[in-house]
Amino acid sequence: MHKLMAMALAMLVGTVLLTAAQDQEPWEVPEEERAVENPIAADDDVLAEGQRLYERNCRMCHGETGLGDGPATARIKPAPPDMSTAEAHDRMTDGEIFYKITVGKRPMREFESRLSEDERWSVVHYVRTLRAG
């Protein structure tokens, strides 16, 4: 009896740990998605639209300048990574940023059903302006 309970408990703890670990896993992006280029050219209107959409949909988590310090981060785990670093911008292609916005990853929602493709590409252009270094 005790043995069984201990085993059940161990399995439960194992499942919880595994689930927690999965959330921290690197965000895999298919090569073909990484290779997609931004089909719209950045001009003042596109950047203004990207900024408007970022402020409405992303700033609460990613923060004004992409640091990952938005007000909603008080209650979300994991915290959003710093999107303003040169490292983040060099690591991610436009296609990768677009893909991540499109599909999301908990606690970040998907935006495929909320923003049109053009809107998502405008946000990608705006995210590029947040590069700090």
Residues in the chain: 133
Q: Which is nearer to ligand HEC, 38 or 62 (CB)?
A: 62
Q: Which is nearer to ligand HEC, 3 or 75 (CB)?
A: 75
Q: Which two tokens stand for residue 24?
A: 């921290």
CA distance 70 to 61: 4
| Cβ atoms of residues 49 and 120 within 8 Å | no
Provide, rounded to whole angstroms, the least separation between the CB of residue 15 and ligand HEC.
19
Q: Which is nearer to ligand HEC, 38 or 57 (CB)?
A: 57
CA dihedral 54, 84, 39, 33 (to 10 degrees): -110
Q: Which is nearer to ligand HEC, 46 or 58 (CB)?
A: 58
Provide, rounded to whole angstroms, the least separation between the CB of residue 63 and ligand HEC.
10
CA-based R_g, the chain, Å: 18
Residues that bind ligand HEC in the complex, under the rule CB under 6 A: 27, 57-58, 60-62, 72, 76, 78, 80-81, 83, 88, 97, 100-101, 105, 107-108, 111, 123, 127
Provide, rounded to whole angstroms, the least separation between the CB of residue 3 and ligand HEC.
37
Provide, rounded to whole angstroms, the least separation between the CB of residue 114 and ligand HEC.
8
| Cβ atoms of residues 123 and 53 within 8 Å | yes
Q: Which two tokens stand for residue 5?
A: 């309970």
